[in-house]
Amino acid sequence: MKLLLLLGLVALGHGLISRVPLRKGKSLRQTLREHGLLEKYLKQHPFDPAAKYFRSRIAAEPLQNYLDNEYFGTISIGTPAQEFTVVFDTGSSNLWVPSVYCSSPACSNHNRFNPAESSTFISTNESLYIAYGTGSMSGVLGYDTVTVANIEVLNQMFGLAETEPGAFFYYTPFDGILGLAFPSIASSGATPVFDNMMMQNLVAKDLFSVYLSKDERGGSFVLFGAIDPLYTINGITWIPLSAETYWQIRMDSVSIGGEGIACAFGCQAIVDTGTSLLAVPDRALGAILSILGANSNGEISCSAASRLPSIVFHINGKAFPVPPRAYVLESNGYCTLGFQGMDVPTESGELWILGDVFIREYYVIFNRATNMVGLSRLP
C-alpha cells in the first residue's frame, strides 16, 4: 500500500501549504527532540509563542483505500498508546472503538481498548448508542488522550463499545469510527474530535480537507488545518451549508444528458465520506436506473458502461459532473451502478447523500470557520 507522505510542509498565506527543501543543519525543534526535551518544553511553556511554533498545526492522516469501498486510517488512544483503525466519517460526529467489555462477535476480531492499561483514562457513568445505516453500537463513554495524524488531543470523549450487534461490523476491515460532522448530532453530547482540535488550538485553520483515491490506489488522506494547492489547480467552488448538523448543502437539480431527472425544485445533500455509494431518494433511483439502462438491481452490461453519460449535480449555480467511470462499479466481470435507494425527507426537500463515488472526483474542503464546503475538480 502506497501512503501519502507529506514532507516539509509549511503554512503559507491563507492556510495553503507547499513543499520546501529541508535546510542543512538541525532545527531547535530537532535538537530538543533528539535530547528528549521537546515534550517537556511544550508542557512547561504552553502559551509561549515559540512553543506554539514548535507544535505541528498542519497534519495529514493517510487513509487506506479498501476496494474503493471504505477508507480508514490509524489513530491511537491512551497512555501508552493503543492503536485502532477508524473510518473518518463526515456523516457522523462520535468517536468510538471496540472495548474489552464487548462480547459481540464483531469485537472478537478487532482491536479492543483496555482502559486499565491507560494511565490517562477517565471513566464516566454515561452510556452511548449509535445507529448507522448498516449497523449499530452501544457502550459507555470515557475520556482519554487521542492522537490523530500526530495531533495529540487531550481529554477527548469517546465511546467504548460493549455491543456491536449483527454481522456488519464483524466483517469490516476497520475497528471503529471517528465522526467529523457537527456537535449538534453527536450522541450523548460528546464533543467531536475536530471540535477539540479547534478549541485546543491544534490546527492552523479551522478546516480539514479530504482526497480519496480511485481504483484501490494509495494516496488518500485527510489533511487537518490546511488546503493542499496541488489538489486545487482547477479552483475551488465554495458552497454554504444549509444546516450545521451533517455537512449538508442545497442542490439546485440533478441532470443526465442535459435533461433534469430529479431534484427539480431543489433538494438537500450531505457530503459524506462514510457512505460508499450515491444514496438517492427511491423515486429518483428508478428514473436513474431506467435512463441508464440498468435493471432494478442496478446491474448493467459492462460493454455498455463506457457509453453512458455523466450524471450532473447542480449546486450553488455550478455543475459537478460524475462520469460513468466513477459511478459504474466493476467486480469479477460484472458491472453495477453505484447508486442506492434511500427515502429520508427533510423540511427543505428530499435528501441525497454524496458518498465516495462523488468524492473521488473532487478534492473536498470542510471549512468550519465559514461553514462551507469547498469542491475542486480533480485532474
- How far is it, in rounded angstroms, from Cα 375 to Cα 366? 9
Q: What are phi and psi of 236, to 5 degrees?
A: -120, 130
Give the sign of the dihedral formed by CA 245, CA 247, CA 250, CA 256: negative
- Report residue 180 as a C-alpha cell: 467529523
Phi-psi region of 371 (alpha: psi -120 to 50; beta: other; left: phi over 0): left
- How far is it, in rounded angstroms, from Cα 254 to Cα 6? 36
- Report residue 208 as a C-alpha cell: 480539514
- Contact call for residues 109 and 95 (beta carbons, < 8 A): no
Q: Which residue in the list 89, 144, 195, 252 is annotated as catalytic?
A: 89
Q: What are phi and psi of 322, to 5 degrees?
A: -120, 110
175 belongs to the catalytic site: no
Please work out, in degrees rounded to the nearest 5, the angle formed at the alpha carbon of residue 3 by the alpha carbons of 325 and 21.
115
199 contacts: CB under 8 Å, gap ≥ 6: 191
272 belongs to the catalytic site: yes
Q: Which residue in the list 144, 195, 228, 272 is annotated as catalytic?
A: 272
- How far is it, in rounded angstroms, from Cα 147 to Cα 11? 21
Q: Is 232 in a helix, a strand, or coil? A: coil
Q: What are the percentages of helix, strand and coil residues in the chain, rounded to 5? A: 20, 40, 40
Task: Kindly list the catalytic residues.
Answer: 89, 272
